[in-house]
Amino acid sequence: MLLTLLVLLALLLALGVPVAFALAGAALAAALLGAGLGAFDLVYLQAFPNRLFGIMGNETLLAVPLFVFMGVMLERARIAEELLSSMARLFGGLRGGMALSVLAVGALMAASTGIVGATVVTMGLISLPAMLARGYDPKLAAGTVAAAGTLGQIIPPSIVLVLLGDQLSAAYQQAQLRQGVFAPETVSIGDLFAGALLPGLMLVVLYALYVGMVAWFRPQRAPAESGRAGWRAWLEALRLALTPIALIVAVLGSIILGLATPTEAAAVGAVGATLAGWLRGRFSLAVLKAVAEETVMVSAMVFAILIGATLFSLVFRGFGGDETVHTLLSALPGGAIGALIAVMLLMFLLGFVLDFIEIVFVVVPVAAPVLLAMGVDPIWLGVLMAVNLQTSFLTPPFGFALFYLRGVAPAELATAAIWRGAMPYVGLQLLLLCLLILFPPLVTFLPSLLR
C-alpha cells in the first residue's frame, strides 16, 4: 500500500495536477483503497482537522506572508535596480567586475528579502543584457545571474529556513518523545538563521572565487570595462546600500539576538520596506494592492501545499511508512552519517522535479525524526537541508531560477546555455554541502555562542 500511495502521487504529478492537490488526492485515494482492503484504519484521518487548526494557528508560519510582503515591496521600490547600476560602475574596471557586482547585489537582496523570483527577474532584466553587450560569455552571465538570485534560499532571513524550522521543531519533539523525553526541546528559527549565516557567506565567496578564476584564466569570457570608479560612485553605492543594510540589521539582528520572534521581525521588515518605497517616491495605493495580491498568491500556494502534505503524511504513517523509513535508514552502512547522506541524495534528486516547498513538507516530516533520533544535531541538519534545497532552483528541467531567467532573457540566449551556465554553481553548492558535512562547527559554532 505504501508503494501504491507513492505510485498514485507520481501519476498525478506526471499528469500535471498541482502538487497540493496531488498530495491530498493520492492520500485520500490510497486511504479509501486501503480501508476497503482492511489495510488502513480511517481513524487516522480524524486527526486531520486538528492538524489544520494547528497550521492556521501557528504563529511562526505567520512570518511567511510577512517576509514575502517585505521582499515584493522592496522589489517594487526598485532598490535592486539602482544597486545593480551603482555596483556595475564600481566594479566595471575589473575583469569579471559586472559578474561580481551581480553577486554582491544578490547577497544584499538575499539578506534583506529572501525572495528568489523577484531578484532573478530584476537582475535578468538589467544585468544580463548589459553583460552580454559587453562581451561576457553567455553561459557565465546567465549562470551568475541565476545563482546570485538563489542566495535568498540560504542567507537569512530565508523563507525556506522558516519552513524548515517549523517542520524540524515538530520532528525534533517527536524524536525526543520516542526516546522517552517528555519535556522536549524545540528548534529555534533564530538558531537556524545564525547557523546559516556563515555557510551563506561562504557560498558567496565560492561564487566570487569561481568568477575571479574564470576572469583570470579566460579573460575573454569576463572582460573589464575601461576606467575606474571615483569617490562619488562609492558614496552613491553606499547611499543605496543603506536601505537593505538597515533592514538586515533590524530583521536579522533582532531575531539572532533574541530581541524579537521571527514573526515580529518580519512585521518590522514589512513596515520598513513600505517606508523605503514611500521615501523613494514609489509607494501608492496601486503598488500596495499589487504587493498584497502577490503576497496572497505566494502564501496561498505555500499553505495549500502544507495542507496537502499534512494529509499525505497522515496516510503515510497510517500505512506504517514511518517505521519503514526508520528501518531502511537504520539498516544503511555508516550509521547516522550514512543515513544523512542517503537523505541528502534523495533531496538532491527530488530537486530536479519538485519545488523546495514540496520537498520540505513531504521529506522532512518523514526522514527528519529518524535522523534526529539517531543523534543528528537539528540546527546542522536544517542548514544542510537548506543548502541542498537551494540546488533545486538551478537543476534542470524544473529549476525555478532557470524558468524565471528564461522568461526575461534575450531571445538569442539559448535555454541550453542557461542550463550549462548554472551547472558550475550547482557544483559549488554541492561542494559547500560536503564541507558542512565534514566540518559541522561551520554551522553550529555561531548558534552555540548565542545560546
The pTM of the full predicted model, rounded to 2 decimals, is 0.85
Predicted confidence at residue 203, as pLDDT, reads 94
402 and 120 in contact (C-beta within 8 Å)?
Answer: no
> Binning pLDDT at 50, 70 and 90, where does residue 426 land?
very high
Percent pLDDT > 70 in the chain is 96
Predicted confidence at residue 43, as pLDDT, reads 84
Predicted confidence at residue 228, as pLDDT, reads 62
Reading the block at residue 47, the C-alpha cell is 486527526
**Helix, strand, coil percent content, the chain, rounded in steps of 5:** 80, 0, 20
173 and 372 in contact (C-beta within 8 Å)?
Answer: no
Check pLDDT > 70 for residue 114.
Answer: no
Predicted confidence at residue 341, as pLDDT, reads 92
Burial of 298 (0-12, 13-18, 19+ CB in 10 A): buried
Q: Average the pLDDT over each of 82-86, 219-223, 246-250 and give the range with the smallest value.
A: 82-86
Give how many domains the chain has, as a whole number. 1
Check pLDDT > 80 for residue 336.
Answer: yes
If you average pLDDT over residues 411-428, what whole number do you get? 89
> Binning pLDDT at 50, 70 and 90, where does residue 92 land?
low
Check pLDDT > 70 for residue 113.
Answer: no
Percent pLDDT > 90 in the chain is 18
Reading the block at residue 120, the C-alpha cell is 532573478
> Binning pLDDT at 50, 70 and 90, where does residue 243 land?
confident
59 and 260 in contact (C-beta within 8 Å)?
Answer: no
Structure confidence by residue, pLDDT tens digits, 291-315? 899 888 888 888 888 888 888 888 8
The length of the chain, given as a count of residues = 451
Predicted confidence at residue 129, as pLDDT, reads 84
Rounded CA separation 169/172 (Å): 5
If you average pLDDT over residues 82-91, what whole number do you get? 75
> Binning pLDDT at 50, 70 and 90, where does residue 227 land?
low
| CA 240 vs CA 44, 108, 126: distances in Å | 54, 11, 17
If you average pLDDT over residues 252-258, what whole number do you get? 81
The parent domain of residue 187 ranges over: 2-450
Rounded CA separation 390/114 (Å): 12
- Higher per-residue pLDDT: 186 or 306: 306
Rounded CA separation 154/248 (Å): 14
Predicted confidence at residue 140, as pLDDT, reads 92
> Binning pLDDT at 50, 70 and 90, where does residue 210 land?
very high
Rounded CA separation 184/337 (Å): 23
Most confident among 181-185, 219-223, 431-435 (mean pLDDT): 431-435
Burial of 73 (0-12, 13-18, 19+ CB in 10 A): buried
> Binning pLDDT at 50, 70 and 90, where does residue 276 land?
confident
Check pLDDT > 80 for residue 222.
Answer: yes
Predicted confidence at residue 229, as pLDDT, reads 62
Rounded CA separation 104/117 (Å): 17
Check pLDDT > 60 for residue 342.
Answer: yes
Measured distance between the N- and C-terminal CA atoms of the chain, rounded to whole angstroms: 45
* Listed residue (69, 25, 20, 2) closest to 354, CA to CA: 20
| CA 446 vs CA 108, 112, 169: distances in Å | 20, 20, 19
Rounded CA separation 216/222 (Å): 9
Predicted confidence at residue 442, as pLDDT, reads 94
> Binning pLDDT at 50, 70 and 90, where does residue 117 land?
low
- Which amino acid, 189? I
**Across all residues in the chain, what is the average pLDDT?**
84
Question: What does DSSP assign to residue 261?
Answer: -
Check pLDDT > 90 for residue 108.
Answer: no
Rounded CA separation 117/333 (Å): 39
Angle between helix 321-331 and helix 356-373 axes, rounded to 10 deg: 70
Bond into 410 cis (ω within 30)? no
> Binning pLDDT at 50, 70 and 90, where does residue 256 land?
confident
Rounded CA separation 248/150 (Å): 17
Rounded CA separation 324/179 (Å): 18
Burial of 330 (0-12, 13-18, 19+ CB in 10 A): middle
Predicted confidence at residue 425, as pLDDT, reads 94
Predicted confidence at residue 414, as pLDDT, reads 85
- Which amino acid, 264? E
Structure confidence by residue, pLDDT tens digits, 358-416? 888 888 888 888 898 888 899 999 999 999 988 888 887 777 788 778 877 888 888 88
Rounded CA separation 263/69 (Å): 12
If you average pLDDT over residues 126-138, what whole number do you get? 84
Check pLDDT > 90 for residue 234.
Answer: no
Reading the block at residue 302, the C-alpha cell is 505555500
Predicted confidence at residue 247, as pLDDT, reads 83
**Can you say whether the dihedral through the CA atoms of 182, 183, 189, 194 is positive or negative?**
negative
Predicted confidence at residue 280, as pLDDT, reads 80
Check pLDDT > 80 for residue 180.
Answer: no
Helix (H, G, I), strand (E, B) or coil at 56: helix
